[in-house]
Every structure is written in structure tokens, then in C-alpha cells.
Amino acid sequence: MYLNIALLGGDGIGPEVLAQSVKCLQAVEHSFGHTFSFTKADIGAVAMKKTGEPLPEKTLKICKNSDAILFGAIGTPEYDQNPTSKVWPEQGLFKLRKELDLFANIRPVKVFPALAKLSPLNRGNILDTDLVIYRELTGGIYFGKKKVSKDGAKALDTCEYSEKEISRIAHLAFKAAKSRQKKLTLVDKANVLETSRLWRRVVTNIASSYPEVTLNCMFMDHAAVEMILHPNKFDVILTDNMFGDILSDQGSAISGSIGLLPSSSVGLGHAMFEPIHGSYPQAKGKNIANPVASILSVAMLLQHFDLIEEANAVISAVLKSFAKKIVTPDVLGSSKYGTDYVGDFIANNINDDNDDDLNINDENIGLGKSTII
């Protein structure tokens, strides 16, 4: 297969983890006889320095013309600590998500058996945690009207959702649940917010088209507790933009590190793949960032194009690195292995004979198919 992949490294550790993913994609090309072409483009603070824009036109064009986008991370302390700035790097990501209509952000949360003992939340019931968050990505409070009063003493963010915005991601989440454990949890604040009440009405109506799926509605505050106490009880979580952002970071604490969890963002045409973590600016240039979230995002990319054996080869190589404790220090404090070493190990273990000494089925990380559209 030929794939034209846009590479958006961004800021902080973004380019470092992305470089490991490219090595893995090159290993897939080599082992499975595919051709991937890579086009690098700027986004975030690095793009602002060059052009003044967090998402330059040229980058958007490259993304629109690509089959898929691999994204690193954006954001720098310079802008995080300057709340009065009129432009900031994260706007580049928002514009990209909106322009490409990437309305569904799919974030699997899994506990990897070989790492379960290292999880800060290690208890018996985390072991079979295998849930996936369907986060609405192009609406809600992130994209509603914003205002700051002239004297700067008041600010306003509005949260808006339409039936259409809710129903298109709800269908994806129900389809995912149907192919998994048939449980869907809608997370909202319907006891407070009008938008949440709309979500409940729309999602409850859609549920009748998926009789095999059990729908459960849960308030966000309660969900935060349940996810820590009984993470293995969840299957598919459907939620809005803001709640999905928060719950997925929380999910990573169950897995053991935010450096482990990938995501895909899909719409009707385009698809983007990125770790759930940020630009971790403190680690920039230190070769300590965990590349696994980015590499597993490559596995989701391959699944998206139905390259299932190839995705399994990547997953199998990642699991081998866990089994041999070739991991970065966020996972195992005493580890001496850096970003490059872990990336090289995984890339060097990607081959078309992926179950040589590990059975992928025993430790299948269940990323799920990233899109059903």
C-alpha cells in the first residue's frame, strides 16, 4: 500500500517521540513491502516563530493532501505562562481539528499485563482494564463563543452542542460498543448543564437502534471516582470535548504512565494520530520521553487502513519491549533506557513474523479499529 503521511512534530518532546514512530513505520515498510512517503510540516510555537501563525496555510494544505497525519505535541511554557497573549500554539491544533472535521477522538485505555505491577494504582481489578473513550473533538466549550470584558475583570466561555454533533459521534461509539463488550457509558453533567441534557436525549434515542448495547448514563464527577475504583467495569465511554480530555489523562494513571496511551482523531475524510500527552517541555532534548504513546498511535494508523497484521507487528514489538523491561523511566523509575533506545528496540522488532516469542493474542492491547465510518 502507498500512504502519504504528514508529520507534525510540533513543540517540546513532540519531534523526539515522532522520530521513533517514523522508524517504526519504516520498519513496517521494509518488512511488509509498503511505501510510505513522509512530509514534515510546522505547527505550534515552532510555526509561530517562523510565520507568526500556529497553523500556517502551508501546513494545512499538506495535511489536507495527506492520507493521514502523525502529530507529536504542541505547547511551550513561554505561552502557558502568558495568559494575555492573543495567539497561542494550541490554537493550531484546534484549527487543524476543526478544518479537517476530526469530530471523534478515540482514546483507548488499557493496562498492559507486563506493566500492571508498576501502575501507581496497582490493585487486582486494574488488570483487565480495557476501555475506550470516544471524545467529541470539534465542539463544546473548546469552540463556543469566548469573551473578555474591556477591563479584563470578567471572562466568558460558552458550551454549545447540536443534535447533529452529538449523534455522529454517538453512532461511532455505539458501533464500537457493539463490537466490544456491548456496554456504553455516557458521561455528562445532566444534573447541571443544558448541553448535557441534550446529550442524554440524543444518545438515549439512538440507543434504540443498538438494542444489543446497554447504555448507562453517569455524571462526570461520579465517573471520575468509578474510573479509579472500578476501571475494568467500563467498555466504551462517550463524552464531550472537555470531559473526554480530562478522563483520558486520568485513564493513563491506571495504565501506569501518560507516555503509554495513543489516540486517533477521525472525521468523514481525514484522520490524525497522536499521543494523548502534551509537549512535556521539561524533557525536551533529554532523551527521556516515552515514545510508546506515539508508536501505538502508529498502530492505530495502520488499523485505520486495515493493515491489521502490520498493526499487530507494531503492538507485538511494543509488548516485547514491556516484557523485557526496555522502557523509559516514567514506567520504571530505575530504567536507564532513553527515548531513542526504546524506539530502536521496538522498530528493530517489527517484522511479519510477529509471534516469535510472544503471543499477541495473550496480551492483545485491544486498541480497536479507530474508525467505522
Ligand X SMILES: CC(C)[C@H](C(=O)O)[C@@H](O)C(=O)O
Which of 278, 290, 230, 276 lies closest to 254 in space, CA to CA? 230
- Residue 22 host element (H or E): helix 14-32
Question: Which residue, judged by CB position, is nearest to ligand X in the bound state?
Answer: 90
Among 80, 101, 160, 344, binds ligand NAD (CB under 6 A): 80
Question: Which residue, judged by CB position, is nearest to ligand NAD in the bound state?
Answer: 75
**Which residue number, 91 or 181, has a Cβ lying nearer to ligand X?**
91
The answer to whether 249 is a known catalytic residue is: yes
* Cα atoms in the 13 Å half-sphere on the side-chain side of 95: 18
The answer to whether 67 is a known catalytic residue is: no
Q: What phi and psi values does residue 107 have, to the nearest 5 degrees?
A: -130, 100
CB of 80 to ligand NAD, least distance (A): 5
How many beta carbons lie within 10 A of that of residue 33, not counting itself? 9
Determine if 140 is a binding residue for ligand X (CB under 6 A): no
End-to-end CA distance of the chain: 20
d(CA 331, CA 260): 9
Determine if 139 is a binding residue for ligand X (CB under 6 A): no
The answer to whether 110 is a known catalytic residue is: no
How many beta carbons lie within 10 A of that of residue 269, not counting itself? 10
CB of 362 to ligand NAD, least distance (A): 26
Stretch that binds ligand NAD, among 73-81, 166-174, 191-199, 217-225 (CB under 6 A): 73-81
Determine if 75 is a binding residue for ligand X (CB under 6 A): yes
CB of 215 to ligand NAD, least distance (A): 29
Determine if 276 is a binding residue for ligand X (CB under 6 A): yes
Q: Any idea of the CA torsion for 199, 204, 206, 212, to the nearest 10 degrees?
A: 130
Task: Please give the positions annotated as active site.
Answer: 142, 189, 221, 245, 249
User: Where along the sequence are the contacts to ligand NAD (CB under 6 A)?
Assistant: 13, 17, 73-76, 80, 90, 93, 257-259, 274, 277-282, 289-290, 293, 330
